[in-house]
Amino acid sequence: MNDKAGSRQARRGTARLAAAALATVGLLAAACGAGQAGYAAEAAAREAAGGPASPAPVRIDGLPVEADVQGGGALAAPPRPVVVADHGGAPTPATVSGAPSPAPGGTPAQARPTTPAGTPAQTRPTTPAATPTAPPAATPSATAPTIPPTATPSATATPGTPTRSLADALTDAIRALQGTPTPEPTPAHGAPDCRRVKCVALTFDDGPGPYTATLLRHLAARKARATFFVVGQNVVAHPDLVRRAAAAGHEIGGHTWSHRDLTTLRAASIRSDLARTAKAIKAVTGVAPTLMRPPYGAQNARVRKHAKQPMIMWSVDTLDWRYRNSARVARVAVKQARPGGIILFHDIHPTTVKAIPRVLKKLSARGYHFVTVSELLGTAPGGLVYRGPRP
């Protein structure tokens, strides 16, 4: 009887010890994640009852040890598949190294031993203990350090698609949700988009002169921009007019120093003449010209070689230098204007300046926008010589 009573008391003590161990492990499991609670409780119950050791060890923080101890004491774990949404397609598994693999249905899979082939099975002491120790070190491997399970996956697309940053993906997603299209670049200085609207470039040669100030007022009244191909010596004589034109948004191009025919000059003289003119323009406006127009439109292979700037011709010649008649100048300009056209005037003639208000009014009524040559072309001309569409 005494033996039976002693046996019952031993069993009760063992049960109490097992219950205490279960309670302790339960608290650890709650702190480390509900996904590991079942495994920890089972391991503690087996050890408290004197059963076989658990097939997988547990670290001191309560998480399962998924791989061998690495050189330096770092613990590594096998890759965890992470779902990365493809654009418009089914979710695609990607790999984030160092996190445990979740089981189907969102429940983390229980840890299993990863003993390398040919290595003896790891053993554990059978003495009851609340927190088992990690297994002894095995053969080191080159796996990466452990990454927390909560690491954010990168926005990696499926194979065959370009790699994009997480910021780009988030920006695209926000735009898609808000229905906001990607904004298109707008032309500088509020210039219209000449690919979508009718544009024409008014150009004035040989100035500045005594009538240029009046011309600037006519252009300002219609908020029209123009291009002035100025003569270098006139820039020096009337720097205030050139400065006013540039400040109003008009473009300033070179027209040689003294209006000489460049085809009659040698290479060195061509370079010297154009450089001197450009220097005078920059001294007044602060900006070197990027376009030029040869006097009389005269150019040849030698001029093209040494000019080193796009030479802007014209698509409409009003012949205002020959016919000093304002009505005729306006009529020719309006009749022959085409979208993308370049109209030639000379602001040194009073009859030309007098014709400009009528030109602006008529072409505005037909839907034209008045822009500089560079605004008309958008960028540098496609060729060295640009004339524009013929009427």
- The answer to whether residues 218 and 334 belong to one domain is yes
Query: Nearest Cα to 271, choosing from 235, 307, 221?
Result: 307
Give residue 308's pLDDT.
Answer: 84
71-94: average pLDDT: 37
Residue 152 lies in a domain: no
Based on the residue annotation, tell me whether 346 is a catalytic residue of this protein.
Answer: yes
95: CB partners within 8 A, 6+ apart: 79, 80, 81, 82
Query: Nearest Cα to 192, choosing from 371, 380, 381?
Result: 371
Give residue 126's pLDDT.
Answer: 46
Please give the DSSP secondary-structure letter assigned to residue 131. S
Residue 85 CA, chain-centre distance (Å), reads: 22
Residue 209 lies in a domain: yes
Q: Are the CB atoms for 56 and 136 separated by under 8 Å?
A: no
- The answer to whether residues 130 and 217 belong to one domain is no
pLDDT band at 141 (very low <50, low <70, confident <90, very high): very low
- Report the percentage of the chain scoring pLDDT > 90: 46
29-39: average pLDDT: 49
Give residue 387's pLDDT.
Answer: 67
- The answer to whether residues 16 and 131 belong to one domain is yes
Collapsing DSSP to helix, strand or coil, 341 comes out as strand
Backbone angles phi, psi at 293, to 5 degrees: -130, 125
Residue 254 lies in a domain: yes
Give residue 363's pLDDT.
Answer: 98
Q: With the C-alpha atoms ordered 147, 152, 157, 162, is the resulting torsion angle positive or negative?
A: negative
Residue 341 lies in a domain: yes
Residue 304 CA, chain-centre distance (Å), reads: 37
Beta strands in 264-359 (DSSP E): 311-312, 316-317, 341-346
Q: Residue 315: which domain range?
A: 188-386
pLDDT band at 164 (very low <50, low <70, confident <90, very high): very low
pLDDT digits (tens, 9 = 90+) for 302-331: 999 999 889 999 999 999 999 999 999 999
342-360: average pLDDT: 98
Collapsing DSSP to helix, strand or coil, 188 comes out as helix
Kindly report the pTM of this predicted structure.
Answer: 0.53
| Domain containing residue 317: CATH number | 3.20.20.370
pLDDT band at 192 (very low <50, low <70, confident <90, very high): confident
Q: Which of 218, 255, 346, 369 is catalytic?
A: 346
* 365, pLDDT greater than 60: yes
Number of domains in the chain: 2
- The answer to whether residues 372 and 239 belong to one domain is yes
Based on the residue annotation, tell me whether 255 is a catalytic residue of this protein.
Answer: no
- The answer to whether residues 243 and 319 belong to one domain is yes
* 193, pLDDT greater than 80: yes
Residue 41 lies in a domain: yes
Give residue 87's pLDDT.
Answer: 36
Mean pLDDT for the chain overall: 71
CA atoms within 13 A on the CB side of 39: 21
- The residue among 116 and 91 whose pLDDT is bigger is 116
